[in-house]
Structure 1
């Protein structure tokens, strides 16, 4: 296989896809995409603008297949994404990437894979599998964070819960949409509408679809788990508020009769009985009210 980088057309390995179908992979940037496509024998009439890519998808044209990739950065899922085009015809694969992310992926494939690209189907499989290789590890990291947050809720340490949970849910929702797009893309490749791929190699794309399906299922499980943790947090907050309301109810119940007593004897009418010598009686009455109220609440197990 020959990796051709931009204008340099640098051969990295001299192999062929198959004896009857020699092919090459071209890596280029958007500035040189048009002429690189011509060299690869691919006709694409639309404008190539990486910044406008927002989804992972693939579409079949007359003599080629055109796809876009919008890959989230795993350490900053909500931030900028890796965006690239890929074009496939009977002989060649062209990848358009301005971030050199595709080139790094191919370098990693060369170091790790003994069979890097026996066929273009195998190359596409290796390429997709490589940028999905760490996803399960990242999802497990999310699971550990949620476990830790659940333990904090159990210990009633919920001060920063909302600030931690909100970005996690948004990131997981973003990843779920991404894996759903990869699943659809893999199914489209497997359908092989234009007959670009050899039938016996379509199993690679089925494997990619299955991997994306497992990752999406894991992400969905984490979203459901995050919802359970959030409900536990809300229950903890509700219990705390209920305790506060219960305390206020006890205080109000105790002081309401005391307020009535002090209001009654505070009217200071001239001929009011007990006005001149009722101070101690009011004090005793108030103490009796407090003791009786506390005894009642204790009996009802409110305090």
Structure 2
């Protein structure tokens, strides 16, 4: 697909583009990438391997700029990602995408935005902004989940907290790394090392950098919040274990003197006092010891 730059992006055929030779966006897949790059006047000597893209980054070459995108799917952050190449020269933009993700983004740009692509800078702003258009909403959803978990911890409903919390922390860590990469990428665009962009249009990339920075800060805040929820959960577990240990300590303290008494009178020496009729006295002594232990524990506020 070829879209001619303008206030509104207009799809044109290759024959129409070859007649006009107007600045345009080329959307293709990896099987037709070399042919499309040649048509757009972009020389790229490395091999195009979309499956091996692992980061969002920008690489400046002599006559063009090469970008790779590795975008997490917001409904499955830990799963597969959207991967694309982006090539930019003085006139044209080429996007290589083996899925329909970029096509859907451009459709949303055409449907939602009045100024869709008067220049390649404006188009790139719209295109990259669509990556992050729903991210704040997703982060708010994470915050609500953490709030619910915090309430469960405060009410001592901790049975499933660990299983619910661990995936959230892993997803937030992935998102934070992604936003960090996007910040670096948009800063590279803003620096305009190759001079491919108009200076008065660089403000768009600065806006993208600020947005990625805010999202990363929000994600870092949520990670800190998740850590606090984990600490509160661990505190509840520790308190529960302490209560159990305290109960066992009380039981052990009560039964230790009783064990000593039964052990002493269980020896059955011939001349032991009370050997013949000492059972009631031993029972009374045991009861007295138990009462004394309980009174001491209550005074110490252990029970």
Structure 2 residue ranges without an equivalent (≥5): 5-9, 14-20
* 2:15 is aligned with 1:29: no
| 2:176 match | 176
State the shift of 1:200 in Å. Answer: 0.7
User: Once the two structures are superposed, what CA deviation does each residue of 1:61-105 show, in whole Å capped at 9, x if it has no partner?
Assistant: 010000000000000000000000000000110000011100000
| 1:17 match | none
SS at match of 1:275: coil
Distance change in 2, residues 1:104/1:121 (3 Å): same
CA distance in 1 between counterparts of 2:222 and 2:206 reads 24
SS at match of 1:218: helix
TM-score, normalised via structure 2 length: 0.94
| 2:258 match | 258
| 1:7 match | none
| 1:121 match | 121
CA distance in 2 between counterparts of 1:40 and 1:13 reads 14
| 1:166 match | 166
State the shift of 1:269 in Å. Answer: 1.6
| 1:240 match | 240
| 1:100 match | 100
* 2:155 is aligned with 1:152: no
State the shift of 1:268 in Å. Answer: 1.4
User: Once the two structures are superposed, what CA deviation does each residue of 1:232-272 show, in whole Å capped at 9, x if it has no partner?
Assistant: 11111111111111111100000000000000001112222
Structure 1 residue ranges without an equivalent (≥5): 5-10, 15-20
| 2:279 match | 279
CA distance in 2 between counterparts of 1:238 and 1:265 reads 40
Q: Give the total of aligned pairs.
A: 291
User: Once the two structures are superposed, what CA deviation does each residue of 1:254-300 show, in whole Å capped at 9, x if it has no partner?
Assistant: 00000000000011122222111111111111111111101110111
User: Once the two structures are superposed, what CA deviation does each residue of 1:140-197 show, in whole Å capped at 9, x if it has no partner?
Assistant: 0000000000000000000111111111101001000000000000000000011100
Let me know the Cα RMSD of the aligned residues: 1.4
| 1:12 match | 11
Native 8 Å contact 2:56 2:182 kept in 1: yes
CA distance in 2 between counterparts of 1:22 and 1:227 reads 53
State the shift of 1:13 in Å. Answer: 6.0
CA distance in 1 between counterparts of 2:251 and 2:214 reads 56
| 1:58 match | 58
CA distance in 2 between counterparts of 1:2 and 1:99 reads 16
CA distance in 1 between counterparts of 2:135 and 2:172 reads 12
SS at match of 1:12: strand
CA distance in 2 between counterparts of 1:95 and 1:39 reads 13
State the shift of 1:3 in Å. Answer: 2.2
CA distance in 2 between counterparts of 1:93 and 1:100 reads 17
| 2:17 match | none
